[in-house]
Structure 1
Amino acid sequence: MAGRASAPRARLGKDARAALSRRAGRIRLFPAVTAALLAGLGVAVAAYAFLRWLTPVDPSKQAAEIDVTRVALTVVAGVGGVVALVIAYRRQRDLEQSRFVERFGAAAAQLGATDVAVRIAGVYAMAGVADESDGRRRQQCIDVLCGYLRLPYDPELGANHQSKLIVKRRRTVRDRSQVGAEQEQHLEYRQNDREVRATIVRVIADHLRPAAEYSWSANDFDFRTAHLEDTEFSNTTFAGTCRFERATFSGTTRLDGATFTNDVGFGQVTFAGIATFDGATFCGHARFGRTTFGNYAGFRGVTFFDTAEFDGTTFSDAAGFHGTTWYGRAGFDRTTFAEMVGFGQATFMRTAGFGHTTFAGYAGFRDATFSQEAGFGDAKFANLAEFQGARFVRGAWFGGATFSGDAVFDRATFSLGLGFVGTTFGGGAVFDGATFSGDAVFDGATFSGDAVFDGAAFFGETRFLGVDFGGRVIRFVSPRQWGPPAPVFDWDQDSSQKPGNVLPQDWPPVPEEAS
């Protein structure tokens, strides 16, 4: 906790110093000189009093005229020195500002050039200005580089030399004199823009790695709506805010080993704030292996068209992937995984939200740990869903979820409330060896395939009221624990009403130790 708190405190102190510097810079010269003189006078009076206290003088003796003159000249010299220092400081500050404006303007002009070589040179020029700046000036340079990535971009035309496209259309107007006339539409493109954009991403990533001579990790990055191709942000550190809402990632996206301690980040990245990918689109392979999200991570409405890997990831706020640890809230509501996705050995330290999420391919949550509430309400699992060995420490909600393939929960542990109300199990449902320590409600659930609860342990209040057990085999054989209280079924008062496909035939089941 101390490590996570130190980064925000350091950044707060830096922001406070920057704000103080800005306020001091806005003071006019005469008030600045006056304030400096008053401060100097105060220091002189304090020093005089302190020296008088250390070395008492004889008040009966009068000072010689030469001593009085010497003191007066010393005071005048001190005043002149203070004035000179203030003026020199203001002159140096204005000189630095003028130099920054000149270099910043030149780099921005290069980025806007038509020639691709000039634009690439502009990227490095803008990075050089950022390296020699700090505070707001460095942030300005970074904002320009991120802003370039947010400009309209056509991937099909980004790699060639085409700079203009002319489209001719026949005009369809009511004026008969214009019938048959053609209308031209000129579309301007930046030549070889893919190379420029790739250079910007590489420059930013290099400044976010531990070995960077000039680190930009504490700054903010705004990639909203940007189109990013084959993004490589591995081993980077983001300690400021990083936003990727509605961004498009084409090709392979590398976020391996990322650490998001606050706002967001990629590949072995450290983020000091909130990770926001809401509405983003990953067209290719997305790799979040060993990633750490230190605060809130938002993936609401994200679409993964290809495989999504989150092995060994740590989510300290909201999220959850393979080997992941979350200390905050994981927001994956209404996200679509078109291919396989893995959250194996993930640890969700705070709420994990997967409501209305679509898992079109394999969904793996093997040995995942949900330390707080896990919400899968109305989620759709079109393929195999594996939760073997998963630990649900707090409540787990699968109400209204649909498992079209097999749902595997063997050896899973449900410590508190569990809800499968209205859940549809279209394939096999495997709960053998599962532990239900808290309340577990399966009311209104539908089992269309085989369901196995062999060796399960029921310690809390468990209900199977209004459940459709279908026509396949449903097994509750040799439970490790059958209450108290014992699970509740519709046929508890009349065992003759028990469906024949529910085993064992001799009801209620006999616990394993008693058999």
Structure 2
Amino acid sequence: MSRLVPWTRTVVGLLAAGILLDLRFWTWPWARAASLLDDHLLFVLFAVPALLVAAAPALLRRRAAAWTYQSRAVIEEPKCPWLLSYPGVGIVVALVATVGVVALMSMMSLASSAVKGAQPGLQIEVIKSGLGLFAASGAVAALLLALRRQRHVELAQVHTELDATERRFTDLYTKAVEQLGSADAAVRLGGLYALERAAQNDIGQRQTIVNVLCAYLRMPYQPPVAAAAVGGRAHEVNGDLPVELPLGSGERQPQDGRDAKLEFQVRLTAQGILTLHLTCPLDPAYDMVRFCPPSRTSDFWPFLDIDLTGATLIDWALPQGYVSKALFENAVFVGRTVFDGVAFAGEARFGGARFDGEVRFDDAVFHGVASFADVRFAEPPSFNDASAESQSTRSDVWPPGWRLGQSDSRFTKLVHE
């Protein structure tokens, strides 16, 4: 929505210009207005600084709105408002004093041209008014300095709250990562859900936590039994697609003491957390993601990169997903793999990956370079209605039998040879 603001200002400016031209402002009685200002010169001299001072708190509140970005108090501290800087205070005071001097000289000139008997009294009144203007400049300076002190107090409070938030996140993050190293599957599951909760509440740390989840899935892992060779079934964390549940019992236990079947469930949970929060509620193929800014109330985490290089993924399903950059090089996909409707905003690299089951990229959109070099498929992949941005400099490597077709539009469909 922020992109609409410049256009809105332009439209409002054009409408205002059209209204002024239609009213023929050059025919207005400007001479009479100047006469009125001259008759109320003292009011104008006091009103202009008063308006500036009155506008200062509003400007501060507007700048303070930028202090709260995402879920934390301060990400980038704003620059000091010009009006409250020491040069700004000095300039405002000098401006008010200059206006006072000019007004004093003008009134002294008027008093000198009065009747001789009235000149002394008028000059005394002029001096009183001039002293009042100089006192007003001092009052303006005192008010601006008070506002400056108040702003520093508010900033100190914001930084204190930020430090407390950072400490809470660090403690939660450290404890959750330690839980991922436990030999107890229940403890590892608790660590995963703790990381998910931390990322949901702290938008600025989502990429870090996604990196931890990806690193966990990249660790070497051998499923207990090939998914296609068993008949039991369980459900993935998000409940969308069923996964094959290994029932074999003759598997060798890992050296770290982790039960292979329990680790299977832990990894499904990690996959489910990723796929749940990378699924876009709108259509990612039509650039609708920009209307879904990061939010603490939405399950969708936009604009994130995932690096699952060399990971073992079981029944991976990311329908209608949105990923900024996706690295799946040398990954092993066990069971069914679904990338239907996924929008790859950046690079999508699957070089050397192995797909042991059904593979679907139907309606997927590749905005960046896509690489499927040396990919091994157990079954023919499906890229029905998949498309890529039409660029003459693309260096894509598509699976055997698929290529970009001819198109004059922004996107080009993949066609099967």
Using the size of structure 1 for normalisation, the TM-score is: 0.47
Greater relative contact order (CA < 8 Å, ≥ 6 in sequence): 2
Using the alignment, how far apart are the partners of 1:82 and 1:221 within structure 2? 40
* 2:415 matches 1:347: no
2:396 corresponds to? 330
User: How big is the alpha-carbon RMSD for the aligned residues of Structure 1 and Structure 2?
Assistant: 4.1
Residue identity over aligned pairs, in percent, reads 25
1:209 corresponds to? 279
Q: Would the aligned equivalents of 1:277 and 1:299 in 2 still touch at CA under 8 Å?
A: yes
Aligned counterpart in structure 1 of residue 191 of structure 2, from 100, 122, 125: 122
Q: Would the aligned equivalents of 2:82 and 2:88 in 1 still touch at CA under 8 Å?
A: no
1:469 corresponds to? none
1:235 counterpart SS class: coil
1:193 CA drift (Å) = 1.2
The answer to which structure has the higher helix fraction is 2
CA 1:301–1:47: 2 relative to 1, 3 Å: farther
Aligned counterpart in structure 1 of residue 353 of structure 2, from 273, 280, 291: 280
1:93 counterpart SS class: helix
Q: Would the aligned equivalents of 1:37 and 1:79 in 2 still touch at CA under 8 Å?
A: no
Using the alignment, how far apart are the partners of 2:338 and 2:192 within structure 1? 22
1:55 CA drift (Å) = 9.5
2:159 corresponds to? 90
* 2:231 matches 1:231: no
Look up the equivalent residue of 2:198 and give its one-letter code: V
Q: Would the aligned equivalents of 1:249 and 1:281 in 2 still touch at CA under 8 Å?
A: yes
1:113 counterpart SS class: coil
1:278 counterpart SS class: coil
Q: Would the aligned equivalents of 1:315 and 1:348 in 2 still touch at CA under 8 Å?
A: no
Using the alignment, how far apart are the partners of 1:287 and 1:164 within structure 2? 31
Look up the equivalent residue of 2:217 and give its one-letter code: L
Using the alignment, how far apart are the partners of 2:327 and 2:308 within structure 1? 6
The answer to which structure has the higher strand fraction is 1
How many residues were matched structurally? 284
1:80 CA drift (Å) = 2.2
1:163 CA drift (Å) = 12
Where structure 1 has 5 or more consecutive residues not aligned to the other structure, the ranges are 4-16, 26-31, 167-184, 257-267, 319-325, 351-366, 370-385, 388-515
- Render the CA deviation track for 1:47-89: whole Å, top value 9, x for unaligned: 5577789999623544359757745643542342133123222
Using the alignment, how far apart are the partners of 1:299 and 1:79 within structure 2? 59
Aligned counterpart in structure 2 of residue 138 of structure 1, from 194, 203, 206: 206
1:221 counterpart SS class: strand
1:305 corresponds to? 378
Q: Would the aligned equivalents of 1:281 and 1:304 in 2 still touch at CA under 8 Å?
A: yes
2:329 corresponds to? 245
1:201 counterpart SS class: helix
2:85 counterpart SS class: helix
1:286 CA drift (Å) = 0.9
- Render the CA deviation track for 1:210-242: whole Å, top value 9, x for unaligned: 33814322011111110001111111112x111
1:188 CA drift (Å) = 3.1
2:6 corresponds to? none
Q: Would the aligned equivalents of 1:248 and 1:282 in 2 still touch at CA under 8 Å?
A: yes
1:291 corresponds to? 364
Q: What are the within-5 Å matches in structure 2 for residues 358-397 of structure 1?
A: 387=417
1:314 corresponds to? 387
Using the alignment, how far apart are the partners of 2:346 and 2:325 within structure 1? 6
1:142 CA drift (Å) = 0.8
* 2:198 matches 1:198: no
Look up the equivalent residue of 1:237 and give its one-letter code: Y
Q: Would the aligned equivalents of 1:297 and 1:317 in 2 still touch at CA under 8 Å?
A: no
2:168 corresponds to? 99
1:41 CA drift (Å) = 2.7
CA 1:37–1:94: 2 relative to 1, 3 Å: farther
Q: Would the aligned equivalents of 2:83 and 2:89 in 1 still touch at CA under 8 Å?
A: no
Using the size of structure 2 for normalisation, the TM-score is: 0.57
CA 1:186–1:244: 2 relative to 1, 3 Å: closer
Q: Would the aligned equivalents of 1:289 and 1:310 in 2 still touch at CA under 8 Å?
A: yes
Q: What are the within-5 Å matches in structure 2 for residues 441-480 of structure 1?
A: none
Using the alignment, how far apart are the partners of 1:188 and 1:234 within structure 2? 35
2:310 counterpart SS class: coil
